[in-house]
């Protein structure tokens, strides 16, 4: 099991990025959350198998149609520190 906090930068708010990310994470059976940050970035914590994590990172660089991702910052953490049972979008 791997765990990663990611910060997605670019034109990622107001374009359906969180909803899209939530759908991708659920499809890949990841747990965690996605939320908007006050500075215009999107933050997500994801927990899952390495292949699932790599796949969502790949998809996240593209994002939904109107998004323009410029950078994804990756911050690993210990999955034992969190107890997510599903993936959710935080409003």
Active site residue 18: yes
Say what the pLDDT of residue 91 is.
87
Choosing from 18, 59, 66, 91, which is the catalytic residue?
Answer: 18
Structure pTM? 0.95
Q: What dihedral angle (degrees, nearest 10) is formed by the CA atoms of 5, 58, 55, 32?
A: 30
Per-residue pLDDT of the chain (91 residues; tens, 9 = 90+): 999 999 999 999 999 999 999 999 999 999 999 999 999 999 999 999 999 999 999 999 999 999 999 999 999 999 999 999 999 999 8
Domains of the chain with CATH codes = 2-71+78-85 (3.30.70.100)
Choosing from 11, 36, 59, 82, which is the catalytic residue?
Answer: 36
Q: Are 60 and 41 in contact (CB under 8 A)?
A: no
Please report, for residues 39, 75, 80, the alpha-carbon distance to residue 23 in angstroms, rounded to integers and kept in the order given: 23, 22, 24
């Amino acid at each position: 099991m791997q765990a990663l906090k990611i910060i997605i930068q670019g034109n990622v708010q107001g374009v359906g990025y969180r909803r899209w990310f939530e759908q991708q994470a659920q499809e890949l059976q990841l747990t965690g959350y996605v939320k908007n940050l006050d500075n215009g970035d999107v933050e997500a914590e994801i927990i899952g198998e390495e292949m699932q994590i790599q796949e969502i990172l790949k998809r996240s660089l593209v994002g939904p149609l109107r998004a323009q991702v410029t950078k994804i910052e990756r911050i690993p953490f210990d999955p034992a520190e969190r107890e997510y049972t599903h993936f959710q979008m935080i409003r």
